[in-house]
Amino acid sequence: MNFERISIPSGLAGISVKFTRSNLPTLVLVHGFNDSKDSFVFLEEELGKHFRLVEFDFRGHGDSDWNEDGIYTPGEYLLDLHCTISSLTEDSIFLLGHSMGAGISARYAGMYPEKIRGLICLEGFSGLQPLDKESGRIRNWLDHLQKKAGKKDVNQKSMKREDAFSKLKLIYSHLDPEKLNTLLDGLIRETESGLFTWKNDPRLKTTVPIPFPPDLSRNLWKRIESPVLMIYGQKSHLTPTNLEEIKSHFRRLSFHEISGSSHNMHHDNPETVLSLIGDFMKTHFELMR
């Protein structure tokens, strides 16, 4: 794929964007937490035949800027998405998000229903958490930041590429080495010493744990006017217990579960994901025929 690469402003952050030039409908791909825009690499070739692709890194991720204080909020991620879309097109678009990117995309589609022709969510809904768990997360976050107050240094460790590969394999133990190396290319940066560092801000773990208001999320999902495709991996560790309740708020929903797939179905089973997207596009938009 031939991508052009630019940086666009989003608040005080510079957001790294790659896109293709064509007169095809625009599809914006939105990555998950602690991932990067290059995580859709196994879908790009086929999707690029039918869409003008736009992919970007959320702040703190990939090649985008880091927040100076290392604190990231869902509102800022929404802003990154909004600024990317507004900078690249004035037309209505298709949105495809994975995990956190899907959750952000679904809320955005409810805020700007007139902008969205179709929404594809590869998981992305963690479900309602017990209030005790939520309050405990916030307390731990406050205590952690209080201990780090006044410290501006970022502990970014250098490593050999093979060490980074080994760490990534702990997460994707079922993927073959070729796929792992392809994913690794988008997640690490070579230093002048010949060693590598992770591109993502190591302080992402201090992302604000205050959840998006559940009632507001449900209101936004109900406001989505476009058809929605939601896909889950049958072996996902992040399937919410209240998935049926979540699904009930989408008016034009198609739901599929991929047998044997994990949370990262676009890595495990890209052919199946592409087939489901193709069926969705043919049915509702006469695209990908």
Residue 192 sits in which domain range? 155-200
Same domain, 171 and 44: no
**Token reading at 80:** 């990154």
Same domain, 208 and 236: yes
Kindly state whether residue 148 falls inside one of the protein's structural domains: no
Same domain, 114 and 52: yes
**Token reading at 135:** 């309050």
The pLDDT, as a whole number, for residue 155 is: 75
Of the residues 164, 179, 200, the one at which a domain ends: 200
**Token reading at 40:** 């859709």
The pLDDT, as a whole number, for residue 210 is: 86
The rounded distance, in Å, linking the Cα atoms of 271 and 274 is 5
User: Cα angle at 141 between 147 and 155, to 5 degrees?
Assistant: 55
Kindly state whether residue 215 falls inside one of the protein's structural domains: yes
Of the residues 183, 200, 217, the one at which a domain ends: 200
**Token reading at 24:** 């095809």
Cβ contacts of residue 61 below 8 Å, gap of 6+? 31, 34, 35, 36, 37, 199, 200, 201, 204
Give me the tens of pLDDT residue by residue for the chain, a chain 289 residues long. 899 999 999 999 999 999 999 999 999 999 999 999 999 999 999 999 999 999 999 999 999 999 998 999 999 999 999 999 999 999 999 999 999 999 999 999 999 999 999 999 999 998 778 888 889 999 999 998 898 887 777 878 899 999 999 999 999 999 999 999 999 999 999 999 999 999 999 999 878 888 889 999 999 999 999 999 999 999 999 999 999 999 999 999 999 999 999 999 999 999 999 999 999 999 999 999 9
Same domain, 99 and 215: yes
Kindly state whether residue 9 falls inside one of the protein's structural domains: yes
The rounded distance, in Å, linking the Cα atoms of 209 and 152 is 21
Same domain, 242 and 186: no
Same domain, 189 and 222: no
Kindly state whether residue 73 falls inside one of the protein's structural domains: yes
Give the total number of structural domains in the chain.
2
Q: What is the CATH number of the domain that holds 64?
A: 3.40.50.1820
Of the residues 132, 166, 200, the one at which a domain ends: 200
Same domain, 29 and 169: no
Kindly state whether residue 258 falls inside one of the protein's structural domains: yes
Phi and psi based region of residue 34 (left: phi greater than 0; alpha: psi -120 to 50; beta: remaining): left
Longest CA–CA span in the chain (Å) reads 57
Same domain, 217 and 89: yes
Same domain, 139 and 160: no
Q: Is 230 helix (H, G, I), strand (E, B) or coil?
A: strand
Kindly state whether residue 100 falls inside one of the protein's structural domains: yes
Same domain, 164 and 32: no
Kindly state whether residue 277 falls inside one of the protein's structural domains: yes
**Token reading at 231:** 């896909």
Same domain, 111 and 124: yes
Dihedral Cα 81, 87, 88, 90, nearest 10 deg: 100
Same domain, 196 and 209: no
